[in-house]
Structure 1
């Protein structure tokens, strides 16, 4: 869990199932925390139980069986989770794992996962469960009820153990979304399953002692000190099912569909120490080098390069590699053109030319403002970064900074552009290693309010400047008609909002939007294109937030609902 801390700064939870307990002895336990350091809080409480035994009953510590009876979270099956509060408040009741208790052991169930579903209302309707206010929009609460429903049916029908594969086939055929989710059953069986499009990442490792799964390969490799090829990818639509006796199998639960693994995982969300992700982020930066050279008219002498935030560092290395390759080609061409007309000083000057790089911005706060609650984001971003003075030649240098992605533009507008302008550059060019984020994501990285996307704001501004408001009204009318006929999932009407404009026009307008009043430097924005994204991340072609091409019908329903919310002035999620 600590090696995946990047996936959850807001909450943590742990559940345990103990095998072969005596009748009447609790066998399923859960602990959760939404404290400022949730992992430390959860495991601190676990350590406190052990410390109390070591202090008052030290002889017990020599016997694992006795320890299991005294320490709640010492068991054979363990399920941990880290939460990002992408929607809803940072409430401990929303932290995974969720639990469904029952007096019959085999009908106890606890689940946690990395996912979003877009058909929560339908799932609650199917189970005839009325969730409370806290859980009415909870994907996991809905998923838990459905799986538990089929778990109970399976337990009623069978006398000789559960067919977990059958339970999963019935339950997960109902889910529309992206997911990597795990569950522990009171019978001692457990499972991890991945969505059929492979939208969310899922990995596992097996040896003679443990079976472990996680959302990131590198977390398993580091924890168990194993090679890349020893950690396997759980294929789309498959489940890893583990029986009480430790036997396991990989089962197809839902036939695999077109692979649409989330590219945003590779760009931003996953840790960059996975060797494949590292190479892909490096390639994302490399592909931007030719574009930025054109933007600065190949003037490397008067351009300085840096990156913001830390998650863009690897892409920055790729960008610099591309610039150095260009500079080396120029050096060779120039030296070859001299023939014998050079001396040591002239040659030394040419050979020593370098791409100018510096650490321009320093992130003082270890927090991802991208996924901070809406109400506190604007205030936070003003205090996240500081600058390194004396790095830029005022009025002469162009300052290029690469970001991993530009979603809302809030951090740029409220903090970074103001901060960089204090250094006095002639131009500020902000580069995004991701393409323009134009559409909601409803499969895990929860971005669902149209009005928050700076690319959408730019399109709206262009429409109004050009007197083309009819485009919005036509798209809104089409969405309402789709809603009336219960066919919101048929098409993405928001594509019509962007259709009149080139990516360059949208980027130019974004540059205006993120430029606060009083800025002296000219501000420009350069985005990655879709073709370069796919070339950089060839196994993760999920790009719906950039292109609007959703892998499941529910995606179209979400984007259309989000657009209608915007047009109607509703500040709420699209699902």
Structure 2
């Protein structure tokens, strides 16, 4: 992606189904779980490089021994930082007594991060400061083991204000109005109630035996009921991991299945991650052994290591995030790899029309590194197109042998015209300086373009702001002196904010929105802006902003082609000699390529939850009243 955006987060949950001593005896080391967690998190490092955190719970340790451990980091390499600290503990234990080092009981009594239940998190902060307090997992502590709660997730809530007010109505005094706090405290409140319910149930049966009572409470906590009560008014996209102090755990997925969650289980482990390749690489299982947690369902792991998937909210129409398939998730997932290739292949007819089928004078390339797979699909589509063309010409009859030779030997011209310097880590730069940094991470390959003759077709996976095209890529390509430059987006035009986990929340950032503003101005239809503003304000003030996305009206007067043409004008640098055009994937073809991930609200404005409509209406109002830099939903 030429425009760097922050996005998503990654989760990892690992439950050892046997006592720690089993793994020490079988694998010859107490580090089995540590190594697996390190691999799970490193294989998802693409999902979060602002920070990382890990938590661990020991089962069945006696009172007086610490049973919850947690590390969080916002260092430049947070995963390495965390696991170096954990490994330091193990090195200290081995140095202290090499024989006891292989004794699970001694390790768990004397050292942290030696438990059977693990949770990891990788953070991409969509908003807010990159401080240790913002890093997951979050911990809610209590002297009752069953009331301890550890939570981490990949989520954004659209209705943080309402959730905050609900906590206040329950008698709480939340320390902050952010979705991480409200989610933690909401679940924590109903965990407390569930523990109390089990206490009231069993206390009459064991009036004098509190130890037995405690065990019964922990074994009978109804996690699904707790989630039903705590999550019933959540509006957003979420995959939430939780661990109870008793060792029970859960991973809950939103009713529309917006955020991803996959799991694998055998007789030794239960593991959950945001991406299938992380599980595949960590446990060498087959892809068909990895299951997806259903929308509105939670994977619940009991204190004894048994697991089940239970529905805790009524599922909505599944609208899994299509950006996962276009850009975010690793393409080593075979399904995602095929889908990205199809995205490149399906945009080919538009490209052929734009270049007037002049393949001899066209060079195809891509913006590394995430558009590479779509580029492979584009090239595959070109090959298929040429096969059809050869058949057509042969059927029509070829008069001369040299014509046949030329027809059969022709291949599309492909080059790596743009290179990216991966050493420049633009994702850690703040918004003010990010564009400047991004403009310096690319460089061009010279002497592969016929000056004033060739057209360059460059495929990107998506175009959000267009600033990198304008300030860097198009300027560099123009120095090669092509006749024409065609920028192709394998994703449709991004028109609306995301409020479910991606850093796309400001209307002014979208080059498609800027294009529509220009078109309205040029056609003297700016009154539509005021009309839409009035509708949005009235809906927000009178409590029906969740019912409809009124911002759609701004796009309705124009075709996709008109908007694309205006985008090309906006991003074309001054004094650019080459003609510039922009091609976008169609929404219909997006759904053909990714049929099981139809979440497309950033392209269509069709939000999967009511809160999404409220967010887009508020975002437009913020833009119109000069508060375009403000977030239109609760802080993360």
TM bucket (normalised to shorter chain) is over 0.9
Q: Tell me, yes or no, if structure 1 residue 136 matches structure 2 residue 177.
A: yes
Alignment check: 8 A CA contact 2:167 2:174 kept:
no
Instruction: Identify if the C-alpha distance between structure 1 residues 368 and 269 changes in structure 2 by more than 3 Å, giving closer, same or farther.
Output: farther
Match of 2:84 among 10, 21, 44: 44
Alignment check: 8 A CA contact 1:84 1:371 kept:
no
Match of 2:505 among 429, 439, 448: 448
Q: Output the CA distance in 1 between the equivalents of 2:45 and 2:429.
A: 15
5+ long unaligned stretches in structure 2: 1-40, 200-215
Match of 1:546 among 569, 593, 603: 603
Q: Secondary structure at the match of 2:324?
A: helix
TM-score when normalising by structure 2? 0.87
Q: Secondary structure at the match of 1:304?
A: strand
Alignment check: 8 A CA contact 1:365 1:385 kept:
no
Q: Tell me, yes or no, if structure 1 residue 332 matches structure 2 residue 391.
A: yes
Q: Secondary structure at the match of 1:443?
A: coil
Partner of 2:631: 573
Question: Per-residue deviation at 1:130?
Answer: 4.9
Q: Tell me, yes or no, if structure 1 residue 564 matches structure 2 residue 617.
A: no
Q: Output the CA distance in 1 between the equivalents of 2:611 and 2:136.
A: 24
Q: Output the CA distance in 2 between the equivalents of 1:332 and 1:9.
A: 50
Match of 2:308 among 232, 249, 257: 249
Larger relative contact order (C-alpha < 8 A, sep ≥ 6)? Answer: 2
Q: Output the CA distance in 1 between the equivalents of 2:423 and 2:231.
A: 37
Q: Output the CA distance in 1 between the equivalents of 2:379 and 2:108.
A: 54
Q: Tell me, yes or no, if structure 1 residue 168 matches structure 2 residue 227.
A: yes
Question: Per-residue deviation at 1:416?
Answer: 1.0
Match of 2:348 among 280, 289, 306: 289
Partner of 1:104: 144
Partner of 2:100: 60
Question: Per-residue deviation at 1:33?
Answer: 0.7
Question: Per-residue deviation at 1:57?
Answer: 2.7
Partner of 2:370: 311
Question: Per-residue deviation at 1:71?
Answer: 3.0
Alignment check: 8 A CA contact 1:124 1:145 kept:
no
Q: Output the CA distance in 1 between the equivalents of 2:426 and 2:322.
A: 20
Render the CA deviation track for 1:109-136: whole Å, top value 9, x for unaligned. Answer: 111111111111221221225555xx53
Partner of 1:228: 287
Q: Output the CA distance in 1 between the equivalents of 2:455 and 2:121.
A: 44
Alignment check: 8 A CA contact 2:50 2:428 kept:
no
Question: Per-residue deviation at 1:64?
Answer: 2.1
Alignment check: 8 A CA contact 1:85 1:372 kept:
no
Which runs of structure 2 are paired with 1:263-274 in the superposition (5 Å)? 263-274=322-333
Alignment check: 8 A CA contact 2:483 2:578 kept:
yes
Instruction: Identify if the C-alpha distance between structure 1 residues 439 and 372 changes in structure 2 by more than 3 Å, giving closer, same or farther.
Output: farther
TM-score when normalising by structure 1? 0.97
Q: Output the CA distance in 1 between the equivalents of 2:118 and 2:545.
A: 40
Instruction: Identify if the C-alpha distance between structure 1 residues 368 and 213 changes in structure 2 by more than 3 Å, giving closer, same or farther.
Output: farther
Partner of 2:205: none
Which runs of structure 2 are paired with 1:111-130 in the superposition (5 Å)? 111-128=151-168, 129-130=172-173
Q: Output the CA distance in 2 between the equivalents of 1:60 and 1:454.
A: 62
Partner of 2:296: 237
Question: Per-residue deviation at 1:200?
Answer: 1.0
Partner of 2:65: 25
Partner of 1:474: 531
Match of 1:458 among 509, 515, 522: 515
Partner of 1:153: 193
Alignment check: 8 A CA contact 1:286 1:319 kept:
yes
Q: Output the CA distance in 2 between the equivalents of 1:271 and 1:397.
A: 33
Match of 1:490 among 540, 547, 568: 547
Q: Output the CA distance in 2 between the equivalents of 1:518 and 1:475.
A: 36
Q: Which moved more, 1:373-382 or 1:20-29?
A: 373-382
Moved over 6 A (4+): none
Question: Per-residue deviation at 1:371?
Answer: 8.8
Alignment check: 8 A CA contact 2:126 2:501 kept:
no
Question: Per-residue deviation at 1:353?
Answer: 0.4
